[in-house]
Amino acid sequence: MIVRNDTQNDTVLWDDGKERLYIFEIPPENCYIPDKPCITIGFGYENARYKGEDVFFFFGEQYLELRNKIAAVSRDLNGSFRLYDMGWDTDGYIDINMTTNGKAEVTGRLGASFSPYSLQFELDVDQTVLTALLRILKI
């Protein structure tokens, strides 16, 4: 789990005034696999009582497949995908499942299950949650 005070560089995926799902920037030099497509992204969730963050590393063919899957879900407004750390530093995840009429269910765990500190969450969002995600993942 990452502890930060800076929320200046966050990209908000969802904020309904009660719950907030966001991405925070990780310096590009943290991509440690040369000559492969890769990106390191921090994800966070907070509500009035709880806040949690985790860092996921996406790389190689799995990263390219994930980008294509997210683009297809965004285009069709149907389907689901899982964001997770492909480097396996954590077993945290975020599942996004598009249901009907552009609505989506988001569930996840930030922080490793083997750590004494992790945060499980779920929230209902709409398709706008995909816009910033697609931009950050360079699609």
Indicate if the pLDDT at residue 6 is higher than 60: no
pLDDT at 82: 96
Indicate if the pLDDT at residue 4 is higher than 50: no
pLDDT at 110: 95
pLDDT at 95: 97
pLDDT tens digits along 33-75 = 667 777 888 999 999 999 999 999 888 888 889 999 999 999 9
The string of DSSP letters for the chain reads -------TTEEEEEE-SS-EEEEEE--GGG---TTS-EEEEEEEEE-SS-EEEEEEEEEHHHHHHHHHHHHHHHHHT-EEEEEE-TT-S---EEEEEE-STTEEEEEEEES-TTSS--EEEEEEEETTHHHHHHHHTT-
